[in-house]
Structure 1
């Protein structure tokens, strides 16, 4: 018989553990709308409200896209007490009122700053004002901070110190605020960003609205200002599966689904647009990699293909699976890439990407992917089901990613 004091101690410890789990920030990858690709730094209060209303009408919020992330361009400088303030023309009602508007609709609000004196677009940033700005963000009821790194030194030690300082300030702000480390992966943040206080970290430079840079092997895309496409980003993020999990996510940047070559940030450096097959592949691959899903197209004016891609509940469920495993790339040769992602219920998601320029047939036994036995298959895009099998045998279009849920 267990002594009563020991029982009480065990109950107390379990209660603390449950509380810690309940309060964990970003237990699954954050989902929402990021303003940068579509609006650039010309974002306004009315834009945010109209996007929020459209997200609700389109059913996106019900599917988990709960955030609107205001990127660079909202700032109006500092007041006579050095409090950071919003641009009074762009945000005449203030950020707190906007947060209240989103919260009343069951949504959350993210905001942006930079670990230097000025942001990437040249607006007021937070270096030296970490405590003050964090308290301001908390007083505005902000839920998420994207913290960029333009204008900062290139070494890793400085980055760790600056991000840790802002993370500490957020933790002392009196409000739970998800912290996004955005130093573009150049200082290997997957090795230190979670310990520094981040819940997600960018693993690459900005994505452009295209499938691939199509540059010669060994080309430094950033230095050559060529721009990273979906496939280029994939090559970096796919190697980092061991570092992702609940409360700490690899972030390969925004979804470019539905932008169709729109001019602006995503259209720079060859961002001429991608096909719907390629957009669907990005949604598939980002979900298999347990990436944050940040829409950046105009959700107020979506075509049927964009809507179909962004609202597929089965693919979203794979991304948001609470086990929090980033899919492992188990094949990467002969223009095939195959990902296997364990799911909470003991089942799996498998993705098959054809990177070649022609339609081909993929034929493999499941045990060659590390999966023993037979499984039922569900094609999450066509919704076609298949009886129990231990083989994969499918035609795959150029640049297409087939995704299957495998269940016993």
Structure 2
């Protein structure tokens, strides 16, 4: 009895002296599927309405042959326009012109390469063009995807009549429950286009969710790919606190190496593409590439396979980068705390958003470093030595110098 009273007293003291942590929401998402941000490829940015069995198989081959798989990319995701709707009994119709052997055969081929397969659908019930809406069929459709062997499901909102927080919570809860019922581990990518006050519900339902509209359409009226990158960056910056291992803010599929989209958008320069990739890694965004893997320049491949930069994205601590300070308008210093057993360690980007080359300065004291620290340049793969106080460097317009400081 005395031991029991002593135990209760100790428990009471611990409760009074331990900081109260924020209550975690009950979750339907399987966080173990995305302990670090997912890495893969999607058909949309290059192939739009024309994915095909041949393209998907060739892309899987290329992901292995180019070394992208070894660099960490694992998903081959088939985006929109693989289906033609439903038959009279509500069963999914596969576009057999594009996918003559069906969707299971494609998933099997992807798996044969040691990769994982992704597929696409929508919430809502009325698809008004050649795609799939799963509203009213969530259990049936997700079981179908599981039976076919898919590992990743992107669920879009093109046909959602109600885009309120309540409506999205209801629909995506049904999607998450349908995935759970299948018994197959399938990563859920919520493509909410930044809508529905996602901060309040998405982290408990999905592994990733979108912070904004499509990168190649934002802001409206944009004429350059770079404008979309900057739009997504600013959207990500506003919600960093809700991301973490298993559940990630998604800045959308990347445009590194992606062509002109019919001439509508000016393609990014190599400097801009390197900055784009650096920022997505700092932001702990999923690294989903969208270029034609069968026809890549050495420069594009070098950007996408920089293992030191990818390691920033895949860091186990799972912290999303935040803006540390702005030197002057357009000259920004972004930081991301990294896992370390030997003292504080940060990834730091000196990012020049301005239209001109500029001298930028990193004040190491603002990171809490008073003495000498080791600094490494991740794009030059070069140690810069032990530095103290400030570090200055010239950064090109729309460029970045990405460092690790420890």
2:14 equivalent in structure 1: none
2:35 corresponds in structure 1 to 27
Q: Distance in 2 between matches of 1:198 and 1:371?
A: 37
Q: Partner residue of 1:252?
A: 251
Retained in 2: the 8 A contact 1:337–1:353?
yes
Q: What is residue 181 of structure 2 aligned with on the other side?
A: 172
Deviations for 1:43-67, whole angstroms, at most 9, x for unmatched residues? Answer: 0111000001011110001111100
Q: Of the candidates 345, 356, 364, which is equivalent to residue 358 of structure 1? A: 356
In the alignment, structure 1 residue 293 sits paired with structure 2 residue 294: no
Deviation digits for residues 135-163 of structure 1, max 9, x if unmatched? Answer: 10110111011100012112221111001
Q: 1:191 aligns with which of 200, 206, 209?
A: 200
Q: Does 1:85 align with 2:80?
A: no
CA distance in 1, matches of 2:393, 2:129: 46
Superposed displacement of residue 119, structure 1? 4.9
Q: CA deviation at 1:327?
A: 1.0
Instruction: Give the superposition deviation at 1:190.
Output: 2.7
The alignment partner of 2:239 has SS state of: helix
Contact 1:260–1:274, Cα closer than 8 Å, also in 2: no
The question of whether the paired residues in 1 share the 8 Å contact of 2:256 and 2:276 is answered with yes
Matched, 1:95 2:103: yes
Q: Which residue of the other structure, out of 319, 334, 338, is the alignment partner of 1:343?
A: 338
Residue 4 of structure 1 is matched in structure 2 by none
2: CA distance between counterparts of 1:403 and 1:364? 11
* 1:189-238 per-position Cα deviation (integer Å, ceiling 9, x unaligned): 1331022x1010000000128xxx7xxxxxxx44x677852112111112
Q: Does 1:234 align with 2:226?
A: no
8 Å contact kept, 1:119–1:148: no
| Residues 225, 376 of structure 1: alpha-carbon distance in 2 compared, 3 angstrom cutoff | closer
What CA distance in whole angstroms lies between the structure 2 residues aligned with 1:179 and 1:52? 21
Is the contact made by 1:33 and 1:67 (CA closer than 8 Å) also made in structure 2?
yes
Please state how far the C-alpha of 1:367 moved relative to its aligned partner: 1.3
After TM superposition, give the deviation of residue 373 of structure 1 in Å.
Answer: 3.6
1:26–1:178 Cα contact (<8 Å) kept = yes
Q: Show structure 2 runs of 5+ residues with no match.
A: 1-28
Q: Would the aligned equivalents of 1:72 and 1:119 in 2 still touch at CA under 8 Å?
A: no
Matched, 1:117 2:114: no
Q: Is the 8 A contact 2:376 2:385 kept in 1?
A: no
Which secondary structure does the structure 2 equivalent of 1:208 belong to? helix
Cα distance between partner residues in 1 of 2:280 and 2:150: 26
Report the CA distance shift for 1:285/1:120 in structure 2 as closer, same or farther (over 3 A): farther
CA-based RMSD of the aligned residues comes to 2.0
| Cα deviation 1:110-143 (Å, max 9, x = unaligned) | 1000001245854231000000001101101110
Q: Does the C-alpha gap of structure 1 residues 120 and 405 become closer, same or farther in structure 2, counting only changes over 3 Å?
A: farther
**Distance of 1:118 and 1:359 partners within structure 2:** 50
> Following the alignment from structure 1 to structure 2, what is the Cα–Cα distance between the partners of residues 22 and 347?
29
Q: After TM superposition, give the deviation of residue 85 of structure 1 in Å.
A: 3.2
1:274 aligned residue: 268
- 1:14-163 matches, cutoff 5 A: 24-119=32-127, 121-152=129-160, 153-163=162-172
**Which residue is equivalent to 1:13?**
none
Matched residue SS, 1:61: helix
- Is residue 71–residue 111 contact of structure 1 (8 Å, CA) maintained in 2? yes
**Any residues of structure 2 matched to 1:310-321 within 5 Å, and which?**
310-321=304-315
TM-score, normalized by length of structure 2? 0.87
CA distance in structure 1 between the partners assigned to 2:254 and 2:370 by the alignment: 33
Q: How does 1:370-389 map to 2 (within 5 A)?
A: 370-389=368-387
Structure-1 separation of matches of 2:126 and 2:71? 36
1:398 matched to which residue of 2?
A: 397
Matched residue, 1:200:
208
C-alpha separation in 2, matches of 1:292 and 1:156: 23
TM-score under structure 1 length normalisation:
0.86
Structure with greater Cα Rg = 2
CA distance in 2, matches of 1:260, 1:150: 24
Gap runs ≥5 in structure 1: 1-20, 214-220
Change beyond 3 A, Cα 1:280–1:193: same
